[in-house]
Amino acid sequence: MTSNEQPVLEVNDLTVAYRIGDRWLEAIRDINLAIQSRQIYGLVGESGSGKTTLAMSILNYLGENGKILKGSIVFDGEEISRYPREKMRAYWGSKIALVPQNPLSSLNPTLTVGEQVREVLRLHLKMTNIEAQQKVLELFERVRLAEPERVARAYPHQISGGMQQRVMIAMALATSPRLLILDEPTTSLDVTTQASILDLIKELIQGREMAVLYVTHNLGVVVELCHRVAVLYAGELVEDAPLEELFSQPMHPYTHGLLMSVPKLGQSKSEQALSAIPGQIPALSQRGQGCIFQARCPIALEICSERPPLEKVNEQHLTRCYRWQEIAQGEIALEALFEAEGEAMSMAVPISSEKGTASALDAQGIVVEFEGQRSFFESITRRPARKVKAVKNVSIQIQPGDTLGLVGESGSGKTSLARAISGLNEPEAGSIRIYGLPASPKLSQRNREVLRRLQMVFQNPEEALNPFMTVGESLRRQLFVLQGIRGEEAQRKAEEMVQAVQLPVEVLNRRPNQLSGGEKQRIAIARAFITNPDIVIADEPVSSLDVSVQAAILNLINRLQGSFHNGLLFISHDLAVVGYLADQIAVIYLGALMQLCRAADLFQPPFHPYTEALLSAVPSVELGRKVEAIRLEGDLPSPSETIEGCPFHSRCPRKIGQICEQQAPPWRIDESTQKRIYCHYTLEELSQLQSKTRYSGL
């Protein structure tokens, strides 16, 4: 990308502040970057890094409480940052376009999507409505929308999330803008949909006379798409380098930590604990004058309390660290310095535990149904409810000390299954045993002992704790209700547990609103483990956390489970995370299990075709990992549809034929590895079909 031509976009020393109360707080500071034509520039940062602020500043679309304090934004040689909004309208949509994060809320609900694109064409390309309509169909075809005419007539709510995002992309590219900003365009989508959208973006923007800024928190997506990457931390640009160099030779401790805290596909807890960056991003009001990463940096020196300049490692590579030379020469081993928590869990428990024959959890034939929307009118006329099967006859077992990872996309029924086992939603059928002790499907009929044996960690840490109780009250209540422990003993246990989740004892007197998201989740985990349950269900416990915090939580769960030796049902949509933490993995699609196997075997063929597609869809953080792209057609069928045969047949890329539509497939079992696949193909046939595919990083 070395070129002497003038960059399309140049950001110079940009500082933007927000008014909060009566103070102006800097959200981004001294940002410099330049994007050439035909360049895809990745902007990576966690939440709070200011990446959205930067994107909105470049668009010159800050709200009334945002202000550019300093610096300039030069677009095609023209400084635009002081232009009033009315003047910017000539640039927006024609020269600078945005693809936003959330396509549904970004589309006007009361206009057809066709009209929303035509509007742009009529305005900027001066087309008549008929010409515009013609062009819309062309555009829709180019973004691979099946039945463009039907889609053009549809309202946003009538098409799927993936299709909505295709419409947004068509809209942004309609006028061939000089600068395209993509703000987390796939974050709200499922991984298989994300994969096809990424394919599309790659295909449409590569080689075009256009500069692209791709904003994301997902390092894997960056690897797939970008030429150059800037890393943003707490409002400052800490490192800026060509993709390969950034990933192979990161020169800033934060970049380093970030790369190491993401589990790679196929990486397992038995090999190595994840590196986690301690602490969290400082709030806007707590950003001092020193190096912005100082508080969390394992190699911070005294000098770091003065802000380091952005230094050149080479012509292409910039970093904001005093010690980059030591890092470059390998004098500092950052790997070892980041919280290498829980000394690599190398003693993962073998599948057949010798600790007795009973499973920690044995759930057989779980069926969960939801009544479809039924009006009062219908219910008094005794019309049968339209039942939606969320979980169809699923059986799982978890041995003590073992982790079962349950992986599936949204709508797969993974949460319904967890809630049925926990008793929060009563299952329609099925039996649940904990250490051989039967647990009633009705929560109200479970006695204290059964309740104590099964506890849960929830997805959203913000809602996990009662905001009106202190942490201590929450933990002590758990002990009192489940074990009758109170007074000093409860206090002592609570203190122990808080220390076990690596928080100071003082936390017990705090309320949740005084804690960060990661800290809240630690407390929620402490609450689940404090009564030493036999089985813990963790439902997407890290999905709402930033990657640098996520790693520490994963290590924590792993370590606690190691010391308590209880069974863990770990639910996630993230294959790498599940692969890292689990001993066994269950893949679920539309309420039915597709594959069940040891974690290590998940990444080796044979795969269930759905597993294969999932694995292929995950953007990897590793450079140069090229896999055969297997993309799913169409959308997840509506849960109220009854599907005969294999649930996956409507989207299966390896569909055999009629048999898949008519007959439920058999379980194919590999006797030696106990790998089970729910498919009409035999394991041998699948192995053969998939012989070229290897997903493990090895």
Site for other proteins in 290-349 (CB under 8 A): none
Q: Which of 10, 12, 15, 18 binds other proteins (CB under 8 A)?
A: 18
State which residue, 154 or 328, has the beta carbon closest to other proteins: 154
CB of 315 to other proteins, least distance (A): 32
Closer CB to other proteins, residue 96 or residue 618? 96
Burial class (CB in 10 A: 0-12, 13-18, 19+), 404: buried
Nearer to other proteins, 58 or 191 (CB): 58
Nearest CB to other proteins, comparing residues 165 and 604: 165
- In the complex, the smallest distance separating the C-beta of residue 313 from other proteins, rounded to whole angstroms, is 28
* 151-154, Cβ contacts within 8 angstroms, sequence gap of 24 or more: 151/113, 151/114, 152/112, 152/113, 152/114, 152/117, 153/112, 153/114, 154/112, 154/113, 154/114
CA atoms within 13 A on the CB side of 295: 12
SS3 79: strand
Question: Binders of other proteins among 372-401, rule CB under 8 A?
Answer: 375-377, 379
Calpha distance 612→634 (Å, rounded) = 17
Q: Which is nearer to other proteins, 526 or 613 (CB)?
A: 526
> Which DSSP string corresponds to 346-368?
--PPPSS-SS-SS-SEEEEEEEE
- Residue 618 CA to residue 192 CA, distance in Å, equals 8
Smallest gap from residue 466 Cβ to other proteins (A): 4
Dig out the tokens for 601 from the structure: 């075997």
Task: Give, as ranges, the residues between 184 and 213 that touch other proteins (CB under 8 A).
Answer: none
Structure tokens at 275: 């590196």
Name all contacts of 646-652 with Cβ < 8 Å and 24+ positions apart.
646/678, 646/679, 646/680, 647/392, 647/589, 647/590, 647/591, 647/592, 647/594, 648/589, 648/590, 648/594, 648/608, 648/609, 648/610, 652/609, 652/610
Q: What is the DSSP letter of 174?
A: T
What is the side-by-side strand order in the sheet with 437-439? 387-398, 361-371, 429-434, 437-439
Near other proteins by CB under 8 A: residue from 310, 340, 443, 627: 443
Q: Which is nearer to other proteins, 464 or 582 (CB)?
A: 464
Residues 569/392, Cβ–Cβ less than 8 Å: no
Q: Cβ 545 to other proteins, closest distance in Å?
A: 11
Closest by CA position to 230, among listed 34, 425, 38, 430: 34
Using the minimum distance from each CB to other proteins, give the nearer residue, 552 or 602: 552
CA 171 – CA 177 distance, rounded (Å): 11
Which residues, numbered 49-108, are part of the site for other proteins (CB under 8 A)? 49-50, 52-53, 56, 59, 61-66, 85-86, 89-94, 97-98, 100, 102, 105-108
634: how many CB neighbours lie within 10 A of its CB? 10
Residues 233-292 that bind other proteins (CB under 8 A): 234, 280-286
Using the minimum distance from each CB to other proteins, give the nearer residue, 25 or 656.
25
Residue 480 beta carbon to other proteins: minimum distance, rounded to whole angstroms: 9
- Of 318, 454, 497, 590, which lies in the binding site for other proteins, with binding defined by CB under 8 A? 454
Q: Is 424 in the site for other proteins (CB under 8 A)?
A: yes
Q: Which of residues 590-649 bind other proteins (CB under 8 A)?
A: none
Return the C-alpha torsion angle 577, 648, 368, 361, nearest 10: -40
Q: Alpha carbon 548 to chain centroid distance?
A: 13
What part of residues 465-524 is at the interface with other proteins (CB under 8 A)? 465-468, 474, 477-478, 481-482, 504, 506, 509-511, 514-517, 519, 524
- Within residues 516-575, the interface with other proteins by CB under 8 A covers 516-517, 519, 524, 527
Q: Which is nearer to other proteins, 117 or 632 (CB)?
A: 117
- Smallest gap from residue 635 Cβ to other proteins (A): 17
Q: How many residues bind other proteins (CB under 8 A)?
A: 97
Stretch that binds other proteins, among 72-80, 217-225, 394-402, 450-458 (CB under 8 A): 450-458
Nearest distance from residue 526's CB to other proteins, in Å? 12
Residue showing tokens 């365009």: 185
Q: Give the pairing type, strands 9-20 and 387-398.
A: unpaired
User: Contact with other proteins (CB under 8 A): which of 141, 147, 271, 463?
Assistant: 463
Per the omega criterion (within 30 degrees of 0), is the bond before 100 cis?
no
- Residues between 646 and 665 with contacts to other proteins, criterion CB under 8 A: none
Minimum distance, C-beta of residue 254 to other proteins, in the bound complex (Å): 15
Please name which of 64, 103, 78 lies closest in space to residue 10, comparing C-alpha atoms: 78
Minimum distance from CB of 374 to other proteins (Å)? 10
For residue 682, how many other CB atoms are within 10 A of its CB? 13
Task: For other proteins, give the closer residue by CB, 229 or 465.
Answer: 465
**Per CB under 8 A, which region of 42-50, 485-493, 569-577, 686-694 contacts other proteins?**
42-50
> What is the smallest separation between the CB atom of 679 and other proteins, expressed in angstroms?
35
Binding string, residues 137-176; x marks residues near other proteins by CB under 8 A: ------------------x-xx---------x--x-----
